[in-house]
Structure 1
Amino acid sequence: MTRIAIMGAAGRMGRILLEATHNSDAAKLGAAIVRPESSLLGCDAGEMAGLGRLGIKLSGSLDGARDDFDVLIDFSTPALTLENLAWCADNDKAIVIGTTGLDESQLKALDGFAARVPMVFAANMSTGINLTVNLLKTAARALGDAGYDIEVIEAHHRHKVDAPSGTALMLGEAVAEPLGRDLKTHGVFERVGQVGPRDPQEIGFATVRGGDIVGEHTVLFAAEGERIEITHKASSRLTFGNGAVRAAAWLAGRPAGRYDMQDVLDLKD
């Protein structure tokens, strides 16, 4: 079984990942990492997450758990993720990255490690959202140049710090690519004041933040007389945890390279 280490194990997503790993038939928990200054250091990871005693103590560093895992799952912050990626490159470990909010230079940095580290990077680890990507590519080919305006609407909880979400951008790219459009030139992320008529080539984004919304994404194709909406709604973060653990089990033993959930789920053309 693939031995997994979870970065930020005491956080909200970390606890979800602990549960997903505990429930997996293909992976098992090897290490659980928390901040070096955490008061939880040395506690049993399972007891901390309400899963019962697992015999894995919370560690304050990857160095202390070097021999205990094969694949690191990281849903932390962009800067910490890049540090962990470099550590994995130096220590022959694979990594699954679910961190969002990486800027263009940080995304390029991932590619810089692709020859040294097996990694799965995805803005969203959900099986359903990755199937949605394929549906959107098909819809875009059929509808995008036939008088349909395209809008991406996303909603998340009040604590999310990046906007639009990484998933919204991923879905926007899914419709832009088959139409030969670039979000840098055709993406519209703000409409304020007298903006004039809508450019038929633009792909619009709208962001909602509030309450405890886990994640909702809709891509709207609107034309004269009809509209088509393709929607994915996540009601539990466990769907992201299950996807990340599935990716970790798939990644174990793979050659170095940058993969995504389309590779994991065998959805690529």
Structure 2
Amino acid sequence: MPKSTLDPGLTPTRLLIHGASGRMGQALLRLCAADDGGPCTVVAASARTVRQRVVDGVPYFASSELAGTPVFDAVIDFSLPEAFDAPLALALDRGAGFVSGTTGLSDAQRAALAAAALRIPVVWEANFSLGVAVLGDLVERASAALPGWDCDIVEAHHVHKQDAPSGTALALGAAAGQGGATPRYASLRAGDIVGEHTVQFAATGERIELVHRATNRDIFARGALHAARRLAGRDAGRYRLRDLL
């Protein structure tokens, strides 16, 4: 299909929300409906189980029915690994952008994502906070500028989060590694903390701390909407969120 000529600054981005019944899917739908996600319109939503065909004016499709969705500029996928393949295949078929925050992907799925980026614009992130995207850039630059300094990453989340270190902490560690540092990790699980990440660089007599605190989960949905708007109409390639700021 011909590449979209959408201008994300002028024209509402047409979105397909995949994983619409989940917490992130619901946040994406709510923000778009309230015009709190910038110039976007949800033309379709997809969920594992469809109990109602139209909800608040948005048509719903099961995963097996995705071929029947209307024209869209980008897919936003927050689902499960077993549901990941279908929206990626659809984005490829439609020549649309693909934005995903689905975690736990297999090696084969990661390879499929890399192959898709040769044909369509793709973003995959463990964390869609715009602040975290900037933090990753700062961490990479600091680690490159401070060779030999100790690098420690401390992350805190709510008591129900099971993985440790968090995916965001590992991504920040990868950014530090790009700059030459060897990060160490510490994890805290307490109360209802949405997410806090501190990257500390220390040497004899001084230290630098770079900190990001999330107090509302809507920031992740807003970041995904930002990515989808900026991704639609771009050339094929693998983009990071920080590339789209």
TM-score normalised to structure 2 length: 0.84
- Tell me which structure has the larger Cα radius of gyration: 1
Q: For the structure 1 residues 65 and 5, does the alpha-carbon distance in structure 2 shift closer, same or farther, using more than 3 Å as the test?
A: farther
Alignment of 1:212-227 (within 5 A): 212-227=192-207
CA contact (8 A) 2:19 2:46 kept: yes
Q: For the structure 1 residues 6 and 234, does the alpha-carbon distance in structure 2 shift closer, same or farther, using more than 3 Å as the test?
A: same
Alignment of 1:22-101 (within 5 A): 22=33, 23-36=36-49, 38=50, 40-44=51-55, 54-61=56-63, 63=66, 65-101=68-104
CA contact (8 A) 2:99 2:227 kept: yes
CA contact (8 A) 2:142 2:179 kept: no
Alignment of 1:1-269 (within 5 A): 1-22=12-33, 23-36=36-49, 38=50, 40-44=51-55, 54-61=56-63, 63=66, 65-145=68-148, 148-179=149-180, 202-265=182-245
Q: For the structure 1 residues 95 and 205, does the alpha-carbon distance in structure 2 shift closer, same or farther, using more than 3 Å as the test?
A: same
CA contact (8 A) 1:155 1:208 kept: yes
Gap regions ≥5 residues in structure 2: 1-11
User: How many angstroms does 1:108 deviate by?
Assistant: 2.9
Instruction: Give per-residue Cα distances to partners, 1:205-241, cap 9 Å, x unaligned.
Output: 1223344322111111233333321110111111111
CA contact (8 A) 1:41 1:60 kept: no
User: How many angstroms does 1:105 deviate by?
Assistant: 4.7
CA contact (8 A) 2:44 2:70 kept: no
User: How many angstroms does 1:43 deviate by?
Assistant: 4.8
CA contact (8 A) 1:74 1:98 kept: yes
Aligned-partner SS, 1:111: helix
Equivalenced residue count is 231
Q: For the structure 1 residues 10 and 238, does the alpha-carbon distance in structure 2 shift closer, same or farther, using more than 3 Å as the test?
A: same
Instruction: Give per-residue Cα distances to partners, 1:51-102, cap 9 Å, x unaligned.
Output: xxx4113332352652242211011123322332123213333211112333
Q: For the structure 1 residues 256 and 159, does the alpha-carbon distance in structure 2 shift closer, same or farther, using more than 3 Å as the test?
A: farther
CA contact (8 A) 1:41 1:59 kept: no
What is the distance in 2 between the residues matched to 1:251 and 1:233? 26
What is the distance in 2 between the residues matched to 1:68 and 1:96? 16
Gap regions ≥5 residues in structure 1: 45-53, 182-201
Percent of pairs with identical residues: 44
Q: For the structure 1 residues 159 and 41, does the alpha-carbon distance in structure 2 shift closer, same or farther, using more than 3 Å as the test?
A: farther
Aligned partner of 2:204: which letter?
E
User: How many angstroms does 1:25 deviate by?
Assistant: 3.4
Aligned partner of 1:59: which letter?
F
CA RMSD after TM alignment: 2.2
Instruction: Give per-residue Cα distances to partners, 1:160-194, cap 9 Å, x unaligned.
Output: 45432221111111111121x6xxxxxxxxxxxxx
